[in-house]
Amino acid sequence: MAKLEHTTTRLVEQRPEVVHDRLLALAARLRDELPPIEPGTQAATMLGMTGRINVEVADRGPNRVELRTTEGRIRALATADLAPTPDGRTNLSMAMVVEPQGFAANMMFDLALKTMPGAKKQVIDGLEASLTDLAKELAKPEGEWDPAAWTPPGAAR
């Protein structure tokens, strides 16, 4: 089965409980502000849907936050696992899986990855840049933290 998976880790200069709460706030923003899929676009064809993407945010306790899409030909799951360090910082490990649903979606996704040179690398490079920027954002002191202010690098605002 064709799927795209990536895991990466960053050290966040902030306590785990703060990182957890901030990740939940940013996940809720993503769920609420994700732009709709417009009819006739490449995304609509690939996902097999138009309109709002349903994103579920799951708080799995103080050490894990999950986001998942629940509709369309291609689904995504992102997880954030938090582990405290002895000096009060947080190891943040994020994993992402993009997986087609069914035979036809699998073929389309596999073909797309094979015919767009560098697409997989671009996605992974974008995730790496976003996580580096996210780690800096999560580390901000309380007075500087604003969940409405952060936008991942490369995302339209």
> Structurally, how many domains does the chain consist of?
1
Specify burial of residue 37 (Cβ count, 10 A radius: 0-12, 13-18, 19+). Answer: buried
Percent share of the chain, pLDDT over 90: 57
Question: Which tens digits make up the pLDDT trace of 90-122?
Answer: 999 999 998 988 888 888 888 877 888 788 888
The pLDDT-based confidence of 156 (bands split at 50, 70, 90) is low
What are 112's two structure tokens? 């797309």
In this structure, is residue 147 part of a structural domain?
Answer: no
Q: Which tens digit of pLDDT belongs to each residue from 135-154?
A: 999 999 999 999 998 887 76
Q: What is the pTM of this model?
A: 0.87
Considering only CA atoms, give the Rg of the chain.
16
| CATH code of the domain in which 55 resides | 3.30.530.20
Let me know if residue 16 belongs to a domain.
yes
Q: What is the pLDDT of residue 154?
A: 65
Average pLDDT over residues 30-51: 88
Query: What pLDDT score does 157 carry?
Result: 53
The answer to whether residue 150 is domain-embedded is: no
Are 24 and 65 in contact by the 8 Å Cβ rule? The answer is yes
- pLDDT score for 104: 84
pLDDT at 8: 94
- Domain of residue 76: give its range: 4-142
Contacts of 156 (CB under 8 A, 6+ apart): 35
With pLDDT > 70 as the criterion, what percentage of the chain qualifies? 97
